[in-house]
Amino acid sequence: MYINQSDTPSPPEPSYDIVRFLGWLKKRGAIRDLKECEKKWEHEGINIERSIKNLGINFIRIYRRSGGEKVVVLENKVWADQWRSYYDLEVPHHKQMQRTQK
């Protein structure tokens, strides 16, 4: 695991594995069924509901749809991106890459 030496983003501080989950969630539109999240990430040792509760509703939360199923929604994408960058998990777009190389 590589940690970017830039300034630490604002709290709460998610673990490396949680940041990987946030990246996965964001890449899929920042909303996914809770069951899908649990199925995908339980083998990584992540308890999705507990992790979301620990991070707080301003960052990520669980909603109940009208049909009753629960969905996970990433509320603060900027915060998630800052942590992905901190853990060097964010791959910049081509234009961003060109700007950083100049």
Which pLDDT score is estimated for 101?
46
DSSP for residue 11: S
Domain boundaries, the chain: 16-101
Q: Specify the pTM.
A: 0.82
Quick: pLDDT tens for 9-59: 999 999 999 999 999 999 999 999 999 999 999 999 999 999 999 999 999
CATH number, span 16-101:
1.10.10
Which pLDDT score is estimated for 30?
98
| Mean pLDDT of all residues in 89-101 | 57
